[in-house]
Amino acid sequence: MAIRPTRQRAPGRDRGVMIAPYEPGLRPGPRAGAARNQPPLPPAIEVAGLSKRFGPAVAVHDLSFTVSYGRVTGFLGPNGAGKTTTLRALLGLIRPDAGRALIAGRRYAELASPFGTVGALLDAGAVHPGHTGRDHLRVLARAAGVPIGRADDLLAKVGLAAAARQRAGGYSLGMRQRLGLAAALLGDPRILVLDEPANGLDPQGIRWLRDLLRSLAAEGRSILVSSHILAEVAQTVDDVVVISGGRSVAQAPLEQLAGPGSSLEDVYLELTGNPNGDPS
């Protein structure tokens, strides 16, 4: 069996891309460089004691974890575990009942340059079907004060250059996922929050996504990615956060969570208590 993960018991609009003025000079992260006597930078993402109810239903309870720069962190849990609620609280789309969810040490609403700090992909369908992929990115770029030419650069980066002038309503799900990733990268953010970005991608697309996320982390960026494709998560991430029933059940580097003789899938199923495929 793998090394047992540390259990986390610490304290406590709008879909799609987040838009705010583009001010790259205000972006946090290791590239900015800090004076030797300055305090260390806060984690890229910090969730502490986060709780949220929707009526009688408890979506998240006393959830805590951190995400570091230069790492890809997998955010795992069964359906209904509270992953999407957590991501929405992190991005200021819902207000938690207790606790905090911070990006670069601040609540989303307090960020001086949200668009240049964090990029998000929560819903690949958040695009007008009558707009071309190029028009979609150019509209977002204008709204955020990003140079218009960056739209074409990012369409090439995500493999949509040939489809740039096609209407997004004719895009496959995989193509919409790529367009959503391009939108998340428009502000050149140091932090990315991605909800199921591999949905709809074919094997070549999944391999492309893996290489993209690894290259972004190698640049010092922080990536928090939720996914149900555990085999791919195991090839992509550095760290893993597992939640179940709205609570944290593990946070550890991947090599500690799933050591020799066990797979991430084995450990995940043991931690979430659902080894037989019963509905979650």
Note the pLDDT of residue 226: 96
Residue 158 vs residues 36, 68, 183, 238: alpha-carbon distances, Å: 38, 24, 10, 22
Q: Exposed, middle or buried by CB within 10 Å (0-12, 13-18, 19+), for 41?
A: middle
CB 49, CB 101: distance < 8 Å: no
pLDDT in tens, 243-266: 999 999 999 999 999 878 889 999
Q: Indicate whether 13 belongs to any domain.
A: no
Q: How far apart are CA 209 and CA 7, in angstroms?
A: 30
Question: N- to C-terminal Cα distance for the chain?
Answer: 24
Domain that holds residue 261: 24-28+41-272
275: confidence class by pLDDT, cuts 50, 70, 90 = low
CB 118, CB 150: distance < 8 Å: no
Structure tokens at 171: 């895009």
Q: Is the pLDDT of residue 132 over 70?
A: yes
pLDDT in tens, 22-79: 444 344 444 444 446 677 889 999 999 999 999 999 999 999 999 999 999 999 999 9
CATH of the domain at 195: 3.40.50.300
What percentage of the chain reaches a pLDDT higher than 90? 76
Structure tokens at 217: 């982390």
143-158 burial, b for 16+ CB within 10 Å, e for fewer?
ebebeeebbeebbeeb
Residue 5 vs residues 1, 72, 161, 181, 258: alpha-carbon distances, Å: 11, 18, 43, 31, 9
Structure tokens at 36: 């030797």
Q: Indicate whether 161 belongs to any domain.
A: yes
Is pLDDT larger for residue 85 or for residue 10? 85
Q: Indicate whether 5 belongs to any domain.
A: no
Q: How far apart are CA 110 and CA 105, in angstroms?
A: 10
Structure tokens at 220: 């010092």
Q: Indicate whether 14 belongs to any domain.
A: no
Q: How many domains does the chain have?
A: 1
Q: Indicate whether 183 belongs to any domain.
A: yes
pLDDT in tens, 215-249: 999 999 999 999 999 999 999 999 999 999 999 99
Q: Indicate whether 72 belongs to any domain.
A: yes
Q: Indicate whether 45 belongs to any domain.
A: yes
Q: Is the pLDDT of residue 17 over 80?
A: no
pTM of the predicted protein model: 0.83
pLDDT in tens, 141-194: 998 889 999 999 999 999 999 999 999 999 999 999 999 999 999 999 999 999
- Give SS3 for 252: strand
Q: How far apart are CA 183 and CA 254, in angstroms?
A: 29
Q: Indicate whether 279 belongs to any domain.
A: no
